């Protein structure tokens, strides 16, 4: 099969077009004919091997899995002996194990759901990692009707889902993004937009009931100044390009240690793609309260350019890769 592979850690230039054997299917896996994959910061982290902590899982000196890509949407072409929920021909979306920047990928059925109707494979592939992270963040922060919610990184992958899901919960949403993404964030339903290149997030004082910090690029002291005294601040993004060892994710890990000393609730968010979350996203998509935002689409052979687009934050929402 065709796949984009890499032999070493590095920037997007390490990706090369290869012909490799399709992955073997274990008893608890399905084989998916990939129609689309997607890019997110996790792909960049596994591609570069930075922060270094990730190499404990992915290989210290060189990557153990040559193919990148977690998000996947496609058609099941074979099922393992213990699979009960799916059969060949089912259109599915979720996350895969063997790498989705390829014509075929394997996945556990516990990380897959039937693809929502009415959206493209590219939109379906854009949804699992970012949509589940947005859903988990909103649940963790306890967003309720009437809450005023501030979302940093609102024009990015997770943010484009979080704005819509917070609106669907009846919140008033202020999205924080750069100038070029402001129109998108408004179109997703945000009631107000703060262009962080021109204004700071505490410009209106301590007015937010909930802050979802997806961008991870503002100090906690600033987030706290924008939050009401009893507000919840959910730390989701770590500013993954910062810090060689932990890449900024120390903020989530430190949250439980700092939280007891603050009047505001401080919560670190960790998300996992599982069936209940995927099925909740499917319900939102099929009822019209959520539309996955694909800001750019690249063919498989141009996966390196998709990574460069993501690294420079050129396109809003998610970047999809279509296969073949």
**Chain residues in the site for ligand NAP (CB under 6 A):** 40-41, 129-130, 133, 152-153, 155-159, 176-178, 181, 196, 214-218, 236-238, 240, 269-271, 313
In angstroms, the CA 115 to CA 122 distance is 11
Q: Of 74 and 156, which CB lies nearer to ligand NAP in the complex structure?
A: 156
Q: Of 18 and 217, which CB lies nearer to ligand NAP in the complex structure?
A: 217
**Would you give the DSSP letter of residue 102?**
B
Cα 266 from chain centroid (whole Å): 21
In angstroms, the CA 193 to CA 175 distance is 5
To ligand NAP, the closest distance from the beta carbon of 1 in angstroms equals 27
* Nearest in space to 155 (alpha carbons), one of 174, 169, 168, 127: 174
To ligand NAP, the closest distance from the beta carbon of 33 in angstroms equals 26
Cα–Cα distances in angstroms (integers) from residue 92 to residues 77, 101, 107, in the given order: 11, 16, 10
To ligand NAP, the closest distance from the beta carbon of 77 in angstroms equals 28
Taking a C-beta distance cutoff of 8 angstroms, is the pair 68, 18 a contact?
no
Q: Of 15 and 223, which CB lies nearer to ligand NAP in the complex structure?
A: 223
To ligand NAP, the closest distance from the beta carbon of 25 in angstroms equals 27
Q: Which residue is nearest to ligand NAP (CB)?
A: 156
Q: Of 49 and 157, which CB lies nearer to ligand NAP in the complex structure?
A: 157
Q: Of 78 and 207, which CB lies nearer to ligand NAP in the complex structure?
A: 207
Q: Of 146 and 272, which CB lies nearer to ligand NAP in the complex structure?
A: 272
Which helix (H) or strand (E) segment holds residue 91: the answer is: strand 91-95
| 3-class state of residue 210 by DSSP | strand
Q: Could you tell me the two tokens for 11?
A: 């920037």
* Nearest in space to 57 (alpha carbons), one of 101, 106, 97, 17: 97
To ligand NAP, the closest distance from the beta carbon of 54 in angstroms equals 11
To ligand NAP, the closest distance from the beta carbon of 271 in angstroms equals 4
């Amino acid at each position: 099969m065709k796949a984009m592979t890499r032999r070493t850690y590095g920037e997007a230039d390490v990706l090369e077009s290869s012909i490799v054997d399709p992955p073997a299917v274990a008893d608890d896996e399905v084989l998916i004919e990939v129609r689309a994959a997607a890019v997110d910061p996790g792909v960049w982290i596994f591609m570069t091997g930075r922060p270094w902590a990730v190499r404990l899982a992915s290989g210290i000196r060189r990557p153990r899995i040559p193919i990148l890509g977690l998000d996947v949407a496609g058609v099941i072409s074979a099922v393992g002996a213990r699979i009960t929920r799916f059969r060949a021909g089912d259109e599915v979306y979720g996350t895969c194990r063997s790498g989705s920047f390829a014509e075929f990928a394997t996945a556990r059925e516990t990380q897959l759901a039937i693809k929502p109707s009415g959206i493209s494979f590219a939109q379906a592939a854009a949804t699992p990692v970012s949509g589940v992270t947005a859903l988990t963040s909103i649940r963790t922060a306890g967003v309720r009707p009437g809450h005023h919610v501030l979302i940093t990184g609102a024009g990015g992958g997770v943010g484009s889902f979080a704005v819509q899901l917070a609106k669907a919960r009846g919140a008033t949403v202020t999205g924080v993004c750069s100038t070029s993404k402001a129109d998108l964030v408004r179109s997703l339903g945000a009631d107000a937009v703060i262009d962080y290149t021109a204004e700071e997030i505490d410009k209106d004082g301590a007015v937010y009931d909930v802050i979802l910090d997806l961008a991870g690029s503002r100090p906690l002291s600033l987030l706290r100044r924008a939050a009401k005294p009893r507000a919840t601040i959910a730390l989701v993004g770590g500013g993954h390009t910062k810090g060689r060892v932990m890449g900024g994710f120390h903020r989530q890990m430190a949250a439980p240690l700092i939280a007891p000393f603050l009047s505001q609730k401080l919560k670190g968010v960790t998300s996992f793609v599982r069936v209940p979350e995927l099925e909740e996203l499917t319900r939102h998509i099929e009822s019209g309260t959520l539309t996955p935002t694909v800001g750019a689409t690249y063919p498989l052979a141009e996966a390196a350019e998709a990574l460069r687009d993501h690294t420079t934050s050129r396109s809003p929402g998610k970047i999809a890769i279509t296969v073949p």
